[in-house]
Structure 1
Amino acid sequence: MSKKQVATTKAPGAIGPYSQAITTGSWIYTSGQLGLDPETGVLAEGVQDQARQALNNLKAILEEAGASLDHIVKTTVFLKDMNDFVAVNEVYSSFFTEPYPARSAVEVARLPKDGLVEIEAVARKK
């Protein structure tokens, strides 16, 4: 199996020993994206703005890999508080069209940088 690292300055750099994404064959696996502004490294205010920024970060990473949000087949959404599920869905639905990617959403005790939401994706280029 050959794998290739995906890296772009249009999304926050890795804050640990991992890649923004890895491609192998036609598959792209992204690391979880927080709502961090790639220029300032600061979290957006509120769960909806963090979700929007996290999805924009995913979009930038996928574009660097030669794909788009339309290529996503599965996402995982990590929430600090499951009560934010509806608010995040409002933002999430503005980034995708049917058929929507498969998705899991889970509440977690804590996210890096004390974020409110983190989103990762698996995509497949055609």
Structure 2
Amino acid sequence: MEKDDIHQRLHPAHWKTAKGYANGVMAEGRAIFVGGQIGWNADQVFESEAFVDQVRQALKNIVAILSEADAGPEHLTRLTWYITDKREYLANLKGLGEAYRSVLGKHFPAMTMVQVVALVEDAAKVEIEATAVLPYARSTW
């Protein structure tokens, strides 16, 4: 169990350390739910077909939505990734790690990844939905 000012990570002491994600997160405050974000920009244009670039843009989109509630990546408690090609994900782990850290830093909420047959936007290779918790003291609602 690891605690910071916002969350408490839930990880049984006798379990092997999680790789790149938290097994569980407990937080108290106002919940923010971000619908699936894909790798297009604010004008709904894909600037790249590359998987890593699309992940980076989807994460930037999540951060932009969080900022509307005066929240940031440190408030994320859960990310659910939908990818169209597991092999492409595995082939790009280093670039994905760099893209992730460049947008979200070293904050690792509970995460799940699912391979899907397709996404609604044909050019999309990834869709990420997010849940964040803004502590009551910081909430502007």
Taking structure 2 as the reference length, the TM-score comes to 0.65
The CA deviation at 1:97 is 3.9
Which amino acid is 1:83 matched to? Answer: R
Runs of at least 5 residues in structure 2 that lack an aligned partner in the other structure: 1-28, 136-141
1:80, distance to aligned residue in structure 2 (A): 0.7
Which of residues 101, 111, 120 in structure 2 aligns to 1:93?
101
Q: Give distance in 2, aligned partners of 1:99 and 1:38.
A: 24
1: distance between equivalents of 2:41 and 2:106? 28
CA contact (8 A) 2:32 2:131 kept: yes
Distance change >3 Å, CA 56–CA 98, structure 1 → 2: closer
Task: Please list every run of 5 or more consecutive structure 1 residues that lacks an aligned counterpart in the other structure.
Answer: 1-24
Q: Tell me if 1:49 matches 2:53.
A: yes
Q: CA deviation at 1:90?
A: 3.8
**Structure with greater contact order relative to length (CA < 8 Å, sep ≥ 6):** 2
Identity %: 37
Q: Which amino acid aligns with 1:121?
A: A
Do 2:52 and 2:99's aligned partners in 1 also have CA atoms closer than 8 Å? Answer: yes
Match of 2:126 among 117, 121, 124: 117
Distance 1:73 1:116 in 2: 23
Over the residues paired in the alignment, what is the CA RMSD in angstroms? 1.6
2:71 counterpart (67, 71, 81): 67
Cα distance in 2, alignment partners of residues 53 and 99 from structure 1 = 17
Structure possessing the higher radius of gyration over alpha carbons = 2
Alpha-carbon displacement from aligned partner over 1:72-103 (angstroms, at most 9, x marks no partner): 01101111101132253442233334451110
Look up the equivalent residue of 1:42 and give its one-letter code: V
* 1:34 partnered with 2:38: yes
CA distance in 1, matches of 2:79, 2:119: 17
